[in-house]
Chain A
């Protein structure tokens, strides 16, 4: 089975500095694999382990962040056999539609595939759209909220844990599935896997190489701002008499 696991590199949250005007300074933020995509990569490697002669390709599209050599080794240490990266200034701040279009074109360039696995959303924008758009662009079945995948002959059986029931669906291949964060616990890379990661093949393409079109986006990013911080009111009510409790409740009522 040929499996493609999609992932995104996002800035490490702890390193993000919020400027005075609420814009974000990402200069000192090191790249990390989007948390939910670790579940996608783990699901892919687990599935491949259960199916002899399977291959897992990690795929990402984006800007310069994907040039980070350590992040590349990081993703490859988590199980994929090869890495494909589409790096292009046009994808620097790509929104879901451009991302999905580039992924679809890259999948075409990789060649044949049976299953594409995405995470439930990215760790930064968390739009939860890319996987669904990708399936649509490739004109293959696409299912999200998947909490279990079992491989079969020319199909996969997936489970979706809904509010009151578990939906079991058979999906013919090729297909795209978006997995939830509770589908697995991603394995911690072993020392051996870390050292082997640097020897795995990496293919880098530009948007032109894959023949993707990134123009004509229906949505344009205007800005990303941190939430406005409200100053603390510092209202202190001391005592436990009825009056004090009433004053306390009134203070709460004013802000709610």
Chain B
């Protein structure tokens, strides 16, 4: 088994480090976080450098890279203390390659090339999280137009991204598996109202309630096949789970490294705290967890690169990494003591941000539900 990175991967990670170190000091992200501001300059830099187009086919102006390289890039951005959870450009493009039309794909690529994910994904509703069948937002037709009505919530980037993909139900549809469709929407369209939600973390991107009141769109706004909304979306859910695992890994490494450095500086009772075995034990356990997370993320990415199924592994990986990263960052805060609890220390931001990894993209419990059934089935005979 070869764990060595290629020279290109090493140079790519070095380029990411250089870009963040030179242009985006910790204070920049601290300020964006304080101001609940989307770090547009940082995202444009990701676009300019080509990081946002990693994994997008060359014929679309992208940069060919396997999924492992894409995960390494996300990890490195997170390790540098930057908000890696905003990196979802390639995912947006792949969705549109799989089920969008030419115009939707072109708009997606145009936005992603600037570093900004093209669209927010409006699925969740107040009464329908993982239970998709309860979605109540409808689409109806009248005089050659399509009208959206309903309410979404927790929509990431709804106030930041140029477009929105809305999952809506055909109210006359009998078969629940065939009544949901995807619609391409301009969030500034008449009839759309967006309210920002106030969260403890992920302050650098909006999460919103979105209200649709007779929002008029054209038939051409349909994405993919009518009635196949979830079939389309589910195809890339497994990659999303792996991506969230990588979103967790990078910040965990950032917090670990910061805390480990601190143990060499902080002196108590005449000695650096790193000389105490309780701190050494904590660092050791954190290091083991980080190694495990790395191995898991890399392996699942490798599986996809080798056309193997991620159905089970991506759910296990997301569950493990989102929980474990939270433990590591929490331990990092414990090592930092009072300093770690202040907003001057970026570990406090990472601590707030990491929590949602266990909720978004499917909760821990949903990951267990997905994985558990498959494990039992594997040993059925």
Contacts and interface: CB of A to CB of B under 8 A. Distances in A.
A190 B65 CA distance: 13
A77 B48 contact: no
A191 B22 contact: no
Contacts of A74: 11, 14
Consensus secondary structure, chain A interface: helix
A246 to B, nearest CB: 31
A69 B64 CA distance: 21
Contacts of A55: none
Label chain B's interface by main secondary structure. Answer: helix
Contact of B49 (A69, A70, A191, A198): A191
Contacts of B231: none
B345 interface: no
Contact of B7 (A69, A191, A192): A69
A191 B8 CA distance: 9
B18 A77 contact: no
Contacts of B103: none
A160 interface: no
B12 interface: yes
A73 B50 CA distance: 17
Contacts, number: 43
Given A188-B18, A189-B15, A190-B50, A195 B10 contact: no
| CB-CB nearest 3 A-B residue pairs | A191-B50, A70-B7, A190-B50
B194 interface: no
Interface of B: 7-8, 10-12, 14-15, 18-19, 22, 48-51, 53-54, 63-65
A183 interface: no
Contacts of B10: 70
Contacts of A77: 11
Interface in A76-93: 77
Interface residue range, chain A: 10 to 19
B24 to A, nearest CB: 12
B18 A194 contact: no
5 contacts: A69-B7, A73-B8, A188-B19, A189-B15, A194-B11
Contacts of B19: 188
Interface in A157-211: 188-192, 194-195, 197-198
A191 B18 contact: no
Nearest to A72: B7
Contact of B53 (A70, A73, A189, A191): A191
Given A188-B15, A188-B18, A188-B49, A195 B7 contact: no
Given A73-B8, A188-B22, A195 B64 contact: yes
A188 B13 CA distance: 12
Contacts of A188: 15, 18-19, 22, 49
B50 A192 contact: yes
A189 B22 CA distance: 13
Contacts of B64: 195
A190 B48 contact: yes
Contacts of A189: 11, 15
A171 B11 CA distance: 37
